[in-house]
Amino acid sequence: MSTHHTLSFLLEPDNPAALANLCGQLNEHILLIEERLGIEVLHRGNHFQLLGDPELCASVKPMLQQLYQDACSGTELTPAHLHLALKATGAEMRLPSQDPVQRDLTIRTRKMQIRPRSDNQKRYVQSVQTLDINFGIGPAGTGKTYLAVACAVEALEREEVSRILLVRPAVEAGEKLGFLPGDLSQKVDPYLRPLYDALYEMLGIEKVARLIEKNIIEIAPLAYMRGRTLNGSFVILDESQNTTREQMKMFLTRIGFGSTAVITGDVTQIDLPKGVRSGLVHAIEVLKGVEGIGFTHFSAKDVVRHPLVQHIVLAYDRFEQLEAQRQKNGEKR
């Protein structure tokens, strides 16, 4: 990306308080723009200079002008405001493609740092960090759910989202949760255990409990998503292979402004009744090629659990391929 282009402008009226609000504490808002877009933002008072790619600078100027007007009118700007404003410009979509394998894609939370291991995991994390809707598809142990939770925690701590929503279809109970004992959380908890375990590791049990109590982390079965619009949220739909076509469409159309959705699933482990087509399989066909939606397909080589898990996945793949071939040959005979 060229760094020779310079765009200079003045933010008016001169308002020191609004300027401090725009730049953020210790210039955190300016640093956020520089980090996300790879341009340089210089200012002395209300005199601003943008250095970098001409198109990116041209899109950042009106964004800063609008944010400054908001600050002058009394709006208290936060990193979340900057995140939404950057999304609205579409500037990140115009960034030159860079091989994620060569990038540092470390996910940083207060308790730990998580580094994607395989090339596929790196591409997945990059996609989640730049696109609003992402699908992670592949066998157990490939890190698709764990990395999604890590990205959600990082976004929450950076105030890019205001809450995390964990969703899972309760196919094993036929979604007849009323027959299970306890309140809603107790009924759904068994189905969300992998998500809980990841949250506990990254945030600690006590903090997760406090965030759930404050509704900053929300647990919900997929059936309870109907009629809602989710703004400013990081939403994870786990085990999505067990959604119906109607459920998947319903979920995807819940996504609102400033939200990120990650849909994870394994198309080889569908537990739906016979004859019911998986919403994940259908979505892969329908949404292929739609701009702004990312698909990452994992395979056995991405498994990061016990080495035997990779061998098990490969063995099942081979068996299913042979079985499919036998059925095909049988039909021909």
| pLDDT (tens digit per residue) in 89-139 | 877 666 665 566 556 788 988 888 998 888 899 999 999 988 899 999 998
* Residue labelled with tokens 């042979």: 322
Convert the chain into a string of H (helix), E (strand) and C (coil): CCCCEEEEEECCCCCHHHHHHHHCHHHHHHHHHHHHHCCEEEEECCEEEEEECHHHHHHHHHHHHHHHHHHHCCCCCCHHHHHHHHHHHCHHHHCCCCCHHHCCCCEECCCCEECCCCHHHHHHHHHHHHCCEEEEECCCCCCHHHHHHHHHHHHHHCCCCCEEEEEECCHHHCCCHHHCCCCHHHHHHHHHHHHHHHHHHHHCHHHHHHHHHCCCEEEEEHHHHCCCCECCEEEEECCHHHCEHHHHHHHHCCECCCCEEEEEECCCCCCCCCCCCEHHHHHHHHHCCCCCEEEEECCHHHCCCCHHHHHHHHHHHHHHHHHHHHHHHHHHC
| Shared-domain flag, residues 56 and 137 | no
Query: CA–CA separation, 135 vs 166, rounded Å?
Result: 15
Express as a percent the part of the chain with pLDDT over 70. 86
Per-residue confidence band for 177, with pLDDT thresholds at 50, 70 and 90: very low
More confident residue, 92 or 149: 149
| Shared-domain flag, residues 189 and 166 | yes
| Shared-domain flag, residues 23 and 160 | no
Q: Sign (positive/negative) of CA torsion 193, 199, 202, 208?
A: negative
| Shared-domain flag, residues 148 and 278 | yes
| Shared-domain flag, residues 90 and 118 | no
Is residue 313 a part of any domain in this protein?
Answer: no
Query: CA–CA separation, 163 vs 231, rounded Å?
Result: 9
Instruction: Give the CA radius of gyration of the chain.
Output: 23
Question: What average pLDDT does range 249-273 have in this prediction?
Answer: 90
| Shared-domain flag, residues 136 and 72 | no
Domain end marker among 94, 123, 141: 94
- Residues 55, 94: contact at Cβ < 8 Å? yes
The pLDDT of residue 175 = 45
**pLDDT above 90 for 313:** no
The pLDDT of residue 103 = 67
The pLDDT of residue 184 = 53
Number of domains in the chain: 2
Give the closest residue to 157 by CA, choosing from 88, 211, 86, 93.
Answer: 211
Name the token pair of 112. 């730990």
Query: CA–CA separation, 169 vs 188, rounded Å?
Result: 9
| Shared-domain flag, residues 177 and 196 | yes
- Widest pairwise Cα distance in the chain: 84
| Shared-domain flag, residues 214 and 290 | yes
| Shared-domain flag, residues 233 and 176 | yes
| C-beta atoms surrounding 305 within 10 Å | 13
| Shared-domain flag, residues 150 and 242 | yes
300, amino acid identity: A
The pLDDT of residue 226 = 81
- What residues make up the domain containing 277? 103-302
More confident residue, 279 or 221: 279
Is residue 309 a part of any domain in this protein?
Answer: no
Mean pLDDT of the chain: 85
**pLDDT above 60 for 180:** no
**pLDDT above 80 for 330:** no
